[in-house]
Structure 1
């Protein structure tokens, strides 16, 4: 009986934690986390969620899609996976959008690549007539054809915050923090650039500067980046929790180190 109670409590705790991701909460002082802050509200994400959100935005911008398309992708990804690159799902569904290999979306390996998954999602969305004027949840359902398409509507508020931040429309909207590594870390800026180009393409104009800056901040831990600089402010890994700080020398393009 005791084991059953413990299992039930653990299940409830896991559900509660998952449910409250992407909610308006106070920042976490310790651990690994990211904060998204725009005039419309503030969200807390774990680092994987922030990386996924940044990648989806890069793919959308590369395809020259409107921010509305990005919002549709976000309501879908939040509902389907809580912005996590899942290796499992209902039946043979996998990945951020829970796309199914058996339905022609791609192989399991391809669908667990957020860049590929986002490309496939947007390619399908672009075929939906008048998707830019449809309610977000209706456009999402037209792509996903899920059992309950109305569920996507629950995430519209969060999707608007995410799209404003990760599209780069709102400057300094994303910052992350994580404990320092116990071992020496060699920065890999070239590897980071190559991964960004894979999602965004080669265009790194200043118009996309804050999208690029947000992407690098979310991937800083993975690639050992110590700082990201842009437009007179700097994010540093050692003080990531403090967000963007005024820099001594403004730069016109995003710089990483």
Structure 2
């Protein structure tokens, strides 16, 4: 199993700040998701060479989880803290949910008006991402967009990825919210009850830390994860991206530690 941690040196197959990553008929995705790095899956599995997935950072939430408050627009592929895409033949991502999944979507203007805090947060996320991209284009190094704006501090290099490949790992993300109904997540470690409390059993002996995610019985594998704030002003402690080859489904969730 290929596994690289703290990825700070780019190799062929890793492309920061990619462009044209969304399906052409879903241009509104660019208002809600920031492209971080494109990853050729051939780095992890040679038979998937040429299939390229893009790690995305959501602009929302300001508080809570992505998808909170928009439950009327959730479906089998998008729920609180989870969202999925189809990887098309041209390696663009087609969102399998509805535009209204995002709080700032026009469909929510009446039922869920955007408050000033979220508006300012969105602008900060977009501006910091743009600053990090500009710095990378000039210097060939990733620094947080917040660091770029601090004239009193020398910008510090950030890892492009905390993990590339490697196994699943158990964390808050595994049971923070319910996975969309198109998918199934299992914790094979199980729990032991002591009094009124349940404790997770040791999973060191199990593959993928005991975590298994499937779609129609087909397993996902872990592609990559990174802290949102390596790239942008704030966000999740880990953006996790998984892939299921048969359906070409890209699945995201977020760990808040």
Does TM, scored on the shorter chain, surpass 0.5?
no
The structure with the largest helix share of the pair is: 1
Choose between structure 1 and 2: higher strand proportion.
Answer: 2
Return the TM-score normalized by structure 2.
0.23
The TM-score, its normalising length taken from structure 1, stands at 0.23
